[in-house]
Structure 1
Amino acid sequence: MTPAEARTTRTAVVIGGGIGGLASGVALARHGWDVTVVERATSLDPVGAGIVVAPNAVRSLDSLGVGDATRHLAALQGELGIRRPDGRWLLRGRADGTASLFGDRTLMLHRAQLVGLLADALPAGSLRLATSADVVDPGTTSRPARVRTPDGDLDADLVVAADGIGSATRTRWMPSAPAPVSGGSTAWRFVAPPVPGVVGSEIWGRGIIAGVMPLADGRVYAYVSVAAGVGVPRDLDELRALLADWHDPIPALLASVDDATALRHELRHLPAPPASLTTGRVALVGDAAHAMLPNLGQGGCQALEDGVVLGVRVRPDDDIAAALQRWSAERRPRVGQVMRMSARVAVPTLWTSRAATSARDAGMRAVGRWTEALGGRALRPVMAWRPPTG
């Protein structure tokens, strides 16, 4: 088979229609693969959640051909930082500082917007909804992989497993990989109607973290995480009571949200990525490979990176298994670093003692005037990343 013939006949099956799966599908299609993306849900309409698109992820979207459209939706603007429950600032800066520090602005989107842009960038007919899929043979250098669906088996030159933190692919074919563990807290996420006075910020209490981020259409993406040591509320009414004396507009946001649209999840993560992100002709991306705590806002961003790098590094005329090993060797150290950073940042958010949180807050106030410099130095390896070009 000639390289030209290989480019027109090589097939890739992507399991999962989340951010990592869609990004992988778009990237592979742009590099000559015949792509099928299978998703077990009947629609791609995520509810109740926003997503921070950091500069490294914005550049990933450029590689996928949707960066400009994304920038037009919503860049974070104005003040942002970390506050106390009484509203006093601990750290304070401006959103446009990320452009000078990391080469691009940080965007704040409703997750459905990002998913929609990625889905629209797929080739027509390549997305199959309401279709479950399982890898029944990961393949070898000389044998294609096989994916089982209700409509029959699919042979594939490449399989991308974007099947989430509970990945059946990882569990079956990488049995020695670390299993998910608890992050020590439970989180609520929701999109609330417009509320006056919202400033982008996180609010750090004793074992409780809340975040508010305005969206371009005036609505507000908000989240609250409650450490197990506090006593996790059973429902939104208990959560509202727990935060009733927090500064405005936190009580108003909680009061305005429709209980049916709020998402509630125990935060879990993988303690480390698998020893390899690939087996045979199968690649793990996104949460299946490196589910991380949300404290750096990098979960979806790293999934976008996975897909972009996969498209560049694994071409249709390559030795697929060997190319995947090289892709894994490139991606695994980076995602491992971001996982560790996210876990470290999460630790002080779980503290519940008055002495520990007072010391934490005093430390943040002491470095507040140097936040931009300190944050830039610490986060530059993550945020300043640029996609490979070939």
Structure 2
Amino acid sequence: MSKTLSAIIAGGGLGGLATAAALAQRGCDVTVYERQSALRASGSGIYIWENGLRVLDALGAYDDAVRGAFEGRAFEQRDKHGGVIDSAPVGAGKRLITVKRSQLLDALRDAALRAGVKVVTSSEVIGATPRGELRFANGDVARADLAVGVDGIWSRVREALGLETFHQQTAEGALRTVIERRPGDIPAGDAGKYIENWNAERRFLITPINETQIYLALTCPERDRAARDTHLDKALWSEAFPRWAHLIERIGADVSWGVYSIIQCSAWSAGRTAILGDAAHAQPPNLGQGGGMAMQNGLALACALEGIECAEAIPAALEAWEARERPLVDHCQKWSTLYGEVACLPDEVRTSTIRAAMAHPWVIEQINRAAHHVPTGTGERARSVSLL
């Protein structure tokens, strides 16, 4: 950007900070407004596929984000007897790591601050206009050349712009927590794996995130009140997954519960105000791409605005950005949603369905397309810009 443009961003989460860093690294004057009193990560662990890792590299946040992280070599699904339903390698030349969400957020925060981004906390955005304006709960209004709403599934920016066309909460949700990792927790034969265990409509996902911690997700329908209680019924879950009772027994009080949202919008922008991340295209976490897609689209947005010298050119640039990025996002959302549908199948049907699907080259191609896309702005030029 040869002329300094200004940008204001609602939301200081992963997508908001990635967008802020990418814009600031390209010469934009950026301010992030965060509703909470401090920048805090919600959730426990997070998957970062190749696309997200390349974005982190382009933003200069890679080393801090992945320090000590677990890099898996395969994702394995198992039935209630411990039998393998499907075992899929990550793939040659591709990467998948898992880290604590707070570590990733801190890395993006530091990259944004190094680029000159200003962060204002305790600032609740309750609306926006197509003129690049954000409206706050205290009556204030912030104005800039560009406004971006990265304010989550209940986005007030999206609501104010009237962009939502579909918002459905899924019947399934998850309890999430992090436990201490101890020697012998994971059998030697399972080293390097992410393991998802099924028993009826409940599943138990085991995800190491570093040498000392394991991220656990315990998934069930929302109507399964006994299973979804955050005061975890350890006996109930241990009975369902006895091979992992030693991990379940170690779960403490820090457990969160949440159902998933699927959100679709008529457009990702109106005038000079855009939305991205969960605000624009929330999806179930079955492919582990929610955070990666948000970061990817934030970087792509900054690339789309590079070289623009006047605010009047921003609406057309935002439309072009969406036209380039949306097909892949829609594809990823569709397949992540489809995967969630197997949760309601009987065990034997689920096993045969997954095995048949994952044996078909076309299905594998679709999933790989969602998981291994190389995002806009992660070539050599983007890295050299981000490291200035």
Cα distance in 2 for partners of 1:234, 1:380 equals 31
1:184·1:350 contact (CA, 8 Å) conserved in 2? no
Pairing of 1:226-265 with structure 2 (within 5 A): 226-228=220-222, 230=224, 233=227, 235-237=229-231, 239-247=233-241, 250-259=244-253, 261-265=254-258
Pairing of 1:100-139 with structure 2 (within 5 A): 100=92, 103-123=93-113, 124=116, 126-139=118-131
Q: Unaligned stretches of 5+ in structure 2? A: 383-388
1:60·1:386 contact (CA, 8 Å) conserved in 2? no
Q: Which position in structure 1 is the counterpart of 2:262? A: 269
Q: Which position in structure 2 is the counterpart of 1:165? A: 153
Q: Which position in structure 2 is the counterpart of 1:294? A: 285
1:207·1:230 contact (CA, 8 Å) conserved in 2? no
2:125·2:156 contact (CA, 8 Å) conserved in 1? no
Q: Which position in structure 2 is the counterpart of 1:285? A: 276
Pairing of 1:2-81 with structure 2 (within 5 A): 4=2, 6-7=3-4, 10-46=5-41, 48-77=43-72, 80-81=75-76
Offset of residue 384 of structure 1: 2.8
1:145·1:282 contact (CA, 8 Å) conserved in 2? yes
Offset of residue 70 of structure 1: 3.2
Pairing of 1:345-364 with structure 2 (within 5 A): 345-351=339-345, 356-364=346-354
Offset of residue 287 of structure 1: 0.3
Identical columns (%): 26
Q: Secondary structure at the match of 2:317?
A: helix
Offset of residue 223 of structure 1: 0.3
Letter in 2 for 1:267: Y
Q: 1:193 aligns with which of 171, 180, 192?
A: 180
Q: Aligned in 2, Cα 1:362/1:384: closer, same or farther, shift over 3 Å? A: closer
Q: Which position in structure 1 is the counterpart of 2:386? A: none
Q: Which position in structure 2 is the counterpart of 1:145? A: 133
Offset of residue 375 of structure 1: 6.6
Tell me the alpha carbon deviations over residues 3-46 of structure 1, each in whole angstroms, 9 at most, x when there is no partner: 74x22xx1100100111111110111111100001101112233
Cα distance in 2 for partners of 1:376, 1:76 equals 21
Q: Secondary structure at the match of 2:265?
A: coil
Tell me the alpha carbon deviations over residues 26-80 of structure 1, each in whole angstroms, 9 at most, x when there is no partner: 1111111000011011122335510000111111212212224434431423554
Offset of residue 178 of structure 1: 2.4
Q: Aligned in 2, Cα 1:90/1:253: closer, same or farther, shift over 3 Å? A: same
2:26·2:302 contact (CA, 8 Å) conserved in 1? yes
Answer yes or no: is 1:386 the counterpart of 2:377.
no
Letter in 1 for 2:103: Q
Cα distance in 2 for partners of 1:268, 1:30 equals 32
Q: Unaligned stretches of 5+ in structure 1? A: none
Give TM-score scaled by structure 1 length.
0.86
Cα distance in 2 for partners of 1:229, 1:90 equals 26
Offset of residue 127 of structure 1: 1.2
Answer yes or no: is 1:208 the counterpart of 2:202.
yes
Letter in 1 for 2:152: G
Letter in 2 for 1:266: V
Give TM-score scaled by structure 2 length.
0.86
Cα distance in 2 for partners of 1:155, 1:203 equals 49
Q: Secondary structure at the match of 2:227?
A: coil
Offset of residue 378 of structure 1: 2.8
Letter in 2 for 1:186: G
Q: Aligned in 2, Cα 1:299/1:136: closer, same or farther, shift over 3 Å? A: closer
Cα distance in 2 for partners of 1:346, 1:107 equals 22
Larger mean CA deviation between 115-124 and 236-245 belongs to 236-245
Letter in 1 for 2:101: R
2:342·2:350 contact (CA, 8 Å) conserved in 1? yes
Cα distance in 2 for partners of 1:138, 1:158 equals 9
Answer yes or no: is 1:174 the counterpart of 2:162.
yes
Tell me the alpha carbon deviations over residues 211-233 of structure 1, each in whole angstroms, 9 at most, x when there is no partner: 01112132110101112465553
Q: Aligned in 2, Cα 1:293/1:125: closer, same or farther, shift over 3 Å? A: closer
Query: RMSD in angstroms over aligned alpha carbons?
Result: 2.5
Q: 1:184 aligns with which of 147, 171, 193?
A: 171
Offset of residue 363 of structure 1: 4.4
Larger mean CA deviation between 189-198 and 297-306 belongs to 189-198
Answer yes or no: is 1:304 the counterpart of 2:298.
no
